[in-house]
A and B are shown apart, each in its own frame.
Chain A
Amino acid sequence: MAVEKMSIAKALNESLRKALEQDPKVLIMGEDVGKLGGVFRITDGLQKDFGEERVIDTPLAESGIVGTAIGLALRGYRPVVEIQFDGFVFPAYDQIVTQLAKMHARALGKIKMPVVIRIPYAGGIGAVEHHSESPEALFAHVPGLKVVSPSNASDAYWMLQQAILSDDPVIFFEPKRRYWDKGEVDVEAIPYQLHKARVAREGSDITLAAYGPMVKVCLEAAAAAAEEGKSVEVVDMRSMSPVDFDGIQASVEKTRRLVVVHEAPTFLGMGSEIAARITERCFYHLEAPVLRVGGFHAPYPPARLEDEYLPGLDRVLDAVDRSLAY
């Protein structure tokens, strides 16, 4: 065992470093990823150690970044692309949706698209517009893409390497407000499967399913609920495409209640899909309808309102109470 305590940011940095070391075909691309080490310093020091040919500062053009990453992948490289903030992925959305996602299918499986797109996402850092959004459903909806998000340092470390090893395009959402959270990383462990959900806390009365930044909120809610004698299980979904429905189902069959929590608007969000599928799969187990806690059908608000907008402990506990009241 080689366990180290590190922040999520550091874990991602170490993970990229290892990927660059292990495979000369791995490239890092994006805005400010070189000398600056990215605006969140996730690529800190990598250009210094691996050179400008491997860690590439690109022109400020997201469509160009993803489009050329596709070309590099066609040529046998494994580009890991950084989009600076969630709201800036949309100039690249066309390339991602119309090209990246479909290439493998169009080529009858002859072409692989090992492109990872890292996106610092979601809110809670007091930022201006376009810096706090949760567009995961827009990507999970697209066949051909895989979409994942780590919630802790160990997952950050391992999931990123697994994403880079994947021959499919992976949209890798990084919960930016958790970058500085520390956790233990066993750098030699056999990693959890990339698309498998993980029970983050055991419980018997109700299941909370979440991913990325909301896992921590759910764990805190579970701890608070425990003081009131409620036993809450927290499932960290880890992957939004594919979703480990078996993992969620197993938990729901035990607790018979489910609340899905995310920051993104609930309308047509991840929670909607999970509610629908789990209702199909567990209809006779459920004691209450699957509830969702998430954002509103409104633009992400200015920073001074984000505490109200973002699901916090109270809103999660309120949903727990509502579910238990059935």
Chain B
Amino acid sequence: MTVESTAARKPRRSSGTKRAAGAASAAKPAAATAQTHDAVPQLVQLLTPEGDRVENADNAEFAPFVADITTEDLRGLYRDMVMTRRFDGEATALQRQGELGLWASLLGQEAAQIGSGRALNDEDYVFPTYREHGVAWCRGVDPTNLLGMFRGVNHGGWDPNTNNFHLYTIVIGSQTLHATGYAMGVAKDGADSAVIAYFGDGASSQGDVMEAFNFSAVYNSPVVFFCQNNQWAISEPTERQMRVPLYQRAQGFGFPGVRVDGNDVLACLAVTRWALDRARRGEGPTLVEAFTYRMGAHTTSDDPTKYRRDEETAAWEAKDPILRLKAHLLATGGADEAFFAELETESEAMGKRVREAVRSMPDPDTMAIFENVYADGHALVDEERAQFAAYLASFESAEEGH
């Protein structure tokens, strides 16, 4: 059993969702036996790596949450993953060409991000790390906006409140507390929305994440902790972060944890909807552990051959999230070759647009150093700005003098 909770459940119906059928049934508490990481993990899975739909005891509670998903929706999820992968590949290429200083690739994690990202309502609020390009896509953030910080022209590049998608957070784990606080505010406001915080398996070792778990439990905050366990934290495998499967940690804080097949977009969608639903119904936080794999390097600065085996990566290739849904769509007649061809053209066009946008992205004005340091202004900043402007101007006047 993959759901564990000591939290009391109130089977209240959600006012805001149409797909709560069977959703509020109590999760069966399971024994908190520690698993070793070598053991085959128990996962909520709806689509096998071969693309077959499965029904079993582990997914029974979650399957109703995607009962409304049509073939067209599936094609939409597929499109999201393909576009996201294309964007990610383009960014990696741009880094190689020197257009970006760094890139953190999401290759392999498309299902976890698209599944969870598409579970969100517009009013929900997202707190990402630095790798959530697929979630950003679901939120409607223009992909080119994500590239500014990796190119080195800004530290953010979008207004978080336009799409309810917070800025990327590089200091690992920090944003889980921000998400929790935001969720506390949502609850105070009595709003019918939820908050989701993304983080990695490595980040789960940070004290901040433990504190976020505790605060959210104590205040029963409407927050979903979505951990993408991509098996690695730079060179450190998950065994270096924890001895108990991550999702089980939630139990100790008094809320449920679920482990989902992170390469199964449908399962990620179902489980995240379930968790968001709980949050909206006032049932507090949930930890979702999306069991997935980082197919590429940690970032473009990293060399994974120093610490991980090719066989491991190859084994995960067989679980590719995009191929899996494609197999399903083909087997069920959900999409034809024309669909895939059209998507190919569309993703190429997007890649081209991104490439051109990055290449023409201007460097910021030097004086931007002094912009937005304070909302109210600050005498020292003003003084330094003026001094620096005069200093720069002295070169220009020297040139003119020649």
Contact = CB atoms under 8 A, between A and B. Distances in A.
A112 B86 CA distance: 55
A315 to B, nearest CB: 7
B154 interface: yes
A255 B157 CA distance: 48
Q: For the complex, would chain A's binding face be called helix, strand, loop or mixed by DSSP majority?
A: loop
A32 B172 CA distance: 15
B373 A299 contact: yes
A289 interface: no
A91 to B, nearest CB: 7
Interface string B188-208: 000000000000001101111
Contacts of A31: 233-234, 236
Nearest to A296: B384
A130 B97 CA distance: 24
Interface stretch (B4-12, B73-81, B360-368): B360-368
Interface in A272-326: 296-299, 301-305, 308-309, 314-315, 318
B205 A60 contact: yes
Interface of A: 31-32, 34-37, 39, 57-61, 63-64, 87-88, 90-91, 126-130, 267, 296-299, 301-305, 308-309, 314-315, 318
B89 interface: no
Interface stretch (B22-30, B144-152, B247-255, B341-349): B144-152
- How many residues of B sit at the interface, in one of the four size bands? 35 or more
Contact of A61 (B150, B151, B207): B207
B368 A305 contact: yes
B170 A130 contact: yes
A39 B234 contact: yes
B381 A305 contact: no
B152 A303 contact: yes
A128 B170 contact: yes
B391 A128 contact: no
B119 to A, nearest CB: 27
B241 A304 contact: no
Contacts of A60: 172-173, 202-203, 205-206, 233, 236, 241
B370 interface: yes
A174 to B, nearest CB: 17
Interface string B384-399: 1000100100110000
Contacts of A90: 171
Contacts of A88: 171
B306 interface: yes
A35 B170 CA distance: 23
B208 A305 contact: no
Contacts of A318: 391, 394
A125 to B, nearest CB: 9
B352 interface: no
A87 B148 CA distance: 20
Contacts of B203: 60
Contact of A302 (B149, B241, B307): B149
A303 B203 CA distance: 25
A299 B307 contact: no
Q: Which of A90, A296, A304, A318 has the most CB of B within 10 A?
A: A304
Contacts of A58: 240
B104 to A, nearest CB: 9
Find the residue from A39, A126, A302 having the highest chain B CB count within 10 A.
A302
Interface string B355-381: 000000001101011100100001011
A90 B363 CA distance: 30
Contacts of A299: 155, 373
A302 B373 contact: no
A228 to B, nearest CB: 14
A91 B206 contact: yes
Given A130-B170, A267-B380, A297-B380, A304 B364 contact: yes
B93 interface: no
A88 to B, nearest CB: 6
Nearest to B151: A304
Contacts of A87: 170-171
Nearest to B101: A126
A315 B205 contact: no
A32 B233 CA distance: 9
A143 B97 CA distance: 47
B7 to A, nearest CB: 26
A301 B151 CA distance: 12
Identify which of A60, A127, A314 gathers the most chain B CB atoms within 10 Å of its CB: A60
A323 B224 CA distance: 59
Interface in B123-164: 130, 148-155
Contacts of A64: 205, 207
A303 B151 CA distance: 8
Contact of A309 (B170, B173, B369): B369
B384 A32 contact: no
B366 A305 contact: yes
A37 B306 contact: yes
Given A60-B233, A130-B170, A36 B306 contact: yes
Contact of B102 (A36, A128, A309): A128
Contact of B234 (A32, A267, A305, A308): A32
B244 to A, nearest CB: 13
A305 B235 CA distance: 31
17 contacts: A31-B234, A34-B235, A35-B306, A59-B241, A60-B173, A61-B205, A63-B207, A91-B206, A127-B102, A128-B101, A297-B373, A297-B380, A298-B381, A305-B363, A305-B368, A308-B369, A314-B395
A87 B366 CA distance: 23
A57 B155 CA distance: 30
Interface string B97-123: 000011000000000000000000000
Given A126-B152, A299-B155, A304-B364, 15 more contacts: A34-B235, A36-B235, A36-B307, A57-B240, A58-B240, A59-B202, A91-B206, A127-B101, A128-B150, A296-B369, A297-B381, A298-B370, A302-B155, A308-B369, A309-B369
